[in-house]
Amino acid sequence: MEVCNGSDRALWKVGRRPLTTNPTVDGASGRGVNAILRKAVKAVALGVCVGFAALPTARADEPTPPVKSGISDEAATAVSQMGKTLLARDLSITARTISVYLDQFGQPLHIFHTMKIAVRRPDRIAVEFIGDDGRHDLFYDGKTASVFFPDSKKYIAIPASGAIPSALDEVTNKLDLDFPLGVLFTDSPDKVLMGDAMAAWQVGTAIVDGVECRHLLFSQKSGIDVELWVEKNDAATPRRLIVTYPLLRGQPRFIAEFTSWKTEPPLPDAQFVFQPPADVKKVEPTPDVASGTEGSK
């Protein structure tokens, strides 16, 4: 079931093709563990478009519970404040994420990642991904998008231009690789979230890493639920995010916690430019290379 239209942009993604830079062989089956995870993620299709949806037809047996209607002033104000904070010219952030879904045997899997993200608007981004399915680094310097696989000593580079969302689209379309949390770096992250909201309200408050936060809940028209914790102040900096797919088998979830938010000092150009080490090889962006599985069969 494709619920996104042609103008929608992929956001909050877990990844249509998790990366594998150092495959591990499962002795029982003779298959790479990461290849199994890759197949499972693709089957569940935890790719998310504007409105947080691009979902398969499988549905949970449980009926969808009724939701509160309308958008509260508290939620609308907090999200608007968050949007202004995210439009800072320079941003650096650490995100720790967990993707939770059922594999092809119906067993729950939890895939962990840590992302160190640096952004300089409108057209610079660098991300270090470290996770259960390998490591890779993404660089975009306004002209070229590069993905580096340190373990296999390979990298891919493609022409790209425009603002950050446009470059991330190029990476998605040409390399079949997704960047989770891309919605944070659109021109209007608050409008992306609220544009699909059927209902939004403040559940309460909670302490996240010692900071008092508003706990917000959004019921989206696209059939998913979004929980967001933002600081209870004028900045409304996001601290925690949970996206739940109640209509899918096993109700998969994407969880992210954010730390180390910085908007100063200005980030240098060099941080976004990939300089290949002398011992690495440039490869063409074929699907096998993009997934890090070339030569692992």
Return the CATH number at 71.
2.50.20.10
What burial class does residue 59 get, using C-beta atoms within 10 Å of its C-beta: 0-12 exposed, 13-18 middle, 19+ buried? middle
Residue 264 lies in a domain: yes
Residue 5 lies in a domain: no
The reported pLDDT for the residue numbered 69 is 59
Dist. CA 77–CA 179, nearest whole Å: 27
Residue 93 lies in a domain: yes
Residue 23 lies in a domain: no
End-to-end CA distance of the chain: 32
The reported pLDDT for the residue numbered 210 is 95
pTM, two decimals, is 0.76
What are the two backbone dihedrals, phi and then psi, of residue 122, each rounded to the nearest 5 degrees?
A: -95, -10
Dist. CA 191–CA 185, nearest whole Å: 12
The reported pLDDT for the residue numbered 176 is 81
The reported pLDDT for the residue numbered 53 is 33
Residue 238 lies in a domain: yes
Residue 11 lies in a domain: no
Dist. CA 109–CA 99, nearest whole Å: 8
How many domains are there within the chain? 1
* Inter-CA distances, 38 with 41, 43, 62, 178, 204, Å: 5, 9, 27, 13, 37
| Range(s) of the domain holding residue 194 | 33-58+67-289
Residue 126 lies in a domain: yes
Residue 22 lies in a domain: no
**Along the 297 residues of the chain, how does pLDDT read in single tens digits?**
333 333 333 334 433 333 333 332 233 332 333 333 343 333 333 333 323 333 333 344 444 445 455 999 999 999 999 999 999 999 999 999 999 989 889 899 999 999 999 999 999 999 999 999 889 999 999 999 999 999 999 999 999 999 999 999 999 888 888 787 888 888 899 998 999 899 999 999 999 999 999 999 999 988 899 999 999 999 999 999 999 999 888 899 999 999 999 988 899 999 999 999 999 999 987 755 554 455 444
List, in order, residues 6 or more apart from 158 with CB less than 8 Å away: 144, 145, 146, 170, 171, 174, 175, 285
List, in order, residues 6 or more apart from 188 with CB less than 8 Å away: 83
The reported pLDDT for the residue numbered 175 is 86
